[in-house]
Structures are given as structure tokens and as C-alpha cells.
Amino acid sequence: MSTPLKYFSRRLSASQCALYSGRNFNLNYKPRPRAGAFHLGAFPMGATVVTGKTVAAFRHPTTGEVIYLCFEQTFEKNCHPHIANWSVRCIGTFEQVMKVVYSSAAACEGGGLQIRSGNTKPETYLKSWRLCFSEPFQMADQEIDLKLGGDSLYAPIPDNHVETALATLERIGRQDVADALKRGGTVKVNLHRDTDIVLGLYGVGTGLSLWKVIRGLWGLGYADETLAPPIAKREVAMPTAVAFAIDPENVVVSINGGPLKHMGWRYSAVGQYIREVAYPIELQRSFSAYQLIRQFRDICDDAPELPDDTIITVTPANTEHSYYLGNAKKLAVKLSIFASVEDVPESYETTFGVVRELKEEYLLSTLEDEQVAFALAPSIDVNTLRLATNGQVLQQSLF
């Protein structure tokens, strides 16, 4: 049984109601100011504001696996009046939709995704989604209209995706649907009966969004805790990390003893860590990501300056873009290693001390990861690295 939207709020549990009242958010959180920071969310015109979340689910008709739909109520801060609208964010297995949720959480770190009162931490955003997953609503079946072609924002299968969509239908054994679409007109499929078609065309990573064919928040039945994902309790080796600053904003980071990698501005480094490290660990051990993210942020915020004797190897051609190629060669000239960009070889070496002395940290930070390799001096043991000022251990277990 589905329930009209006007009755929706009456069926929320106390914890779920908190998602909409804002009580589960840390309203006092204010991000640390970043000198010279300019990114989405640093100014009111760049942010998406989330005012509500909910999760619906149903079982795959063949495999019995639970399929989730994540709905979010949002408005854009630079669009007036601020009218929040519901839309479906994604559809897929728990692992698939959580990848989308974690990607959105990463945007919270830079302020690109906010709540009504302003900035919110990624950890808070993730906790609110976890509450929704603890008791998903039953998702009613519904008809979905498919049609090839068109350049409208709401075209079910726009012109630039027709070939991919037809190939997908053939791959999953639905040549009948592909042939019907080729003949023109609208083809109707069902969310439950034709789950593979919906996932193949509008699932995570397909390039098409489900809101093209499912509008707003509709079709929710009763909350059903049997549809909640199981709690993962696998024993996982928690990652370690060490970070160094190359200027007031940019950091280079080593994770699990790997090579130092430039991860951009601090907010960008945390966002990348959320997507690439915290997300896969969360799937193996539920609720572990919150502390991982918080402690990694602290490591980046407290990062000492990269030591002067750090060897920097630059390979200009390790990029597909002429802009980065030019910057890598320009850096060699700025550092007085070569007289002109024409003289720059396939690779060259310098030290961070030279970069810092000549104040070229910014130009160094513009290079792509594949162009730059950082090597600490052998005398530096990252396993026992400490800040001289307060003895805080930077290389540490993150859990």
C-alpha cells in the first residue's frame, strides 16, 4: 500500500523525523577558515541545500536482493525563492547507492552541500542517511515510460545516450524492449518486474538519472526494517596516514605507507579520502567511517610543512593536457633549473626547499598527480613522525 505525500510525515519514526527538523545535525559546526579559499560553497551562490532524506526499497523479483532508492529534498542556494523539491538520487544495491551517498558527503567538506542552517560535516550527513537505511519504506511498483531520443533535460533516453541504452538492453537479454524502442513511440516497463532494465539504464554509473522517469517522492508504503541492510562486522585493518603542507592550503598525503601524493586543498583531500578510503571500509565494517573521516581531517589540518630536503621529481609529459605540461616546464624555468621551456627534458629533480625559497609552491600545486613524485629524506621515519611543538603523533592508526 502506498501513501500520498501529504501523509508522509505522519509515518516517520522519531529518529527519522529528526532528519527533517535538523535536530540530528551539529548546527554549531563552522569550518575552519582557509586562507585564500575559493571553492563551491565558500559563497552562497555555489551550494545545494538538503532539507530532507528518505530511503525506499523492494526486493529484486529474481534474486531477492534488496534494491534501494534514495530520495533527497533540496534547493539551490542561488535560486530564489528557496523552494525545496524531492527527487530520487539513485537506485541500486546498498553498495551501489552508498557510493553515491559518500560522494555527496565529500561535497559537504568544501561547503558545496549544506543544510538550511549552513555548513554540515560529512560525518553528520552520513549518519542521517544511516538512520534512513535502518528502516526503509516499502517502494510500490510503478510504470516507467521509456522513449528514445530528444534533447530535453527530462528526455528518458536522450540523443547522446541512445546507442548506449540499446546496447545495454541487448546485453541484459531484453532485445524485445530495444526493438520496440527502435520502432518509435513509448514503451512501458515496470519498476519491480523489469528491475534489470531500470538498473541497466538508470543505475549508479550508467550516466542517466532515475529522476528522468520517476518524479518527486511517490510510491512509499510502510517502513519495513526487514529491508534494512545487514550490519557489517568484518575485522578490517584500519588505514594509517601522514600529511605535509606545501602551502597554507595544499597537502601531500601518504596512506598506509604508500608514496606521498598531492591531494589538493585540505577540503579536497578529505573529500577524496571519504570516497576512496572511508567508503570501502564502511562497507566492511559499519559505522567505522565517522571516526576515520574526523581523524583524517585533523591530520590534514595539523600537517607540518613538507621538509626542505624532500626530493621532487617532475615528469612534464605525464599528462594529456597542454596546460599542465606547460606548467611543469614553466616550473623548471622558474626554479632556474633550465633557461627555457624548450630545454626541459623528460624529467627533472629539485627539492622542496628550492621551491619554497623561490616561492613557487602554487605553481607546483597546479601539476597533476602523475607528473610529480615526492620522496622524503631517508632520515625521516614516518612511522615515528612527531610535531616538534607539541609531540602529537601524525602517523597513527585512524580507528
Give the pLDDT confidence of 59-98 residue by residue, as tens digits.
Answer: 999 999 999 999 999 999 999 999 999 999 999 999 999 9
Question: What type of residue is 224?
Answer: D
Burial of 260 (0-12, 13-18, 19+ CB in 10 A): buried
Pick from 68, 20, 24: nearest CA to 220 = 68
What percent of the chain shows pLDDT beyond 70?
Answer: 83
Q: What is the pLDDT of residues 348-393, one digit of tens each?
A: 999 999 999 999 999 999 999 999 999 998 866 655 443 322 333 3
What percent of the chain shows pLDDT beyond 90?
Answer: 81
Assess whether pLDDT exceeds 60 at residue 22: no
C-alpha to C-alpha distance for 354 and 314, rounded to whole angstroms: 14
Report the Cα–Cα distance between both ends of the chain, in Å, rounded. 43
- Mean pLDDT calculated for residue range 259-267: 96
- Mean pLDDT calculated for residue range 269-281: 97
Assess whether pLDDT exceeds 50 at residue 121: yes
Q: Which helix (H) or strand (E) holds 251?
A: strand 250-255
Residue 269 per-residue DSSP state: H
Question: What pLDDT does residue 377 have?
Answer: 87
pLDDT classification of 158: cutoffs 50, 70, 90:
very high
Question: What pLDDT does residue 396 have?
Answer: 33
Q: Hey, is 18 helix, strand or coil?
A: helix
Assess whether pLDDT exceeds 50 at residue 14: no
C-alpha to C-alpha distance for 87 and 85, rounded to whole angstroms: 7
Q: Which residues pair with 364 in a beta bridge?
A: none
Question: What pLDDT does residue 218 have?
Answer: 83
pLDDT classification of 219: cutoffs 50, 70, 90:
confident
Average pLDDT, the chain: 86
Q: Grid coordinates 526487514 are at which residue?
A: 226
Q: What is the pLDDT of residues 310-351, one digit of tens each?
A: 999 999 999 999 999 999 999 999 999 999 999 999 999 999
pLDDT classification of 212: cutoffs 50, 70, 90:
very high
> What is the SS3 string spanning 109-170?
HCCCEEECCECCCHHHHHHHHHHHHCCCEEECCCEEEECECCCCCCCCECHHHHHHHHHHHH
Q: What is the pLDDT of residues 284-293, one digit of tens each?
A: 999 999 999 9
Question: What pLDDT does residue 18 have?
Answer: 35
Asked if 317 and 325 touch (Cβ cutoff 8 Å), the reply is: yes
Candidate from 6-20, 212-226, 232-246 with smallest mean pLDDT: 6-20
DSSP 185-232: S-EEEETTTTHHHHHHHHSTTSS--GGGTS-SS--EEEE-GGGSPPPP
Assess whether pLDDT exceeds 50 at residue 37: no
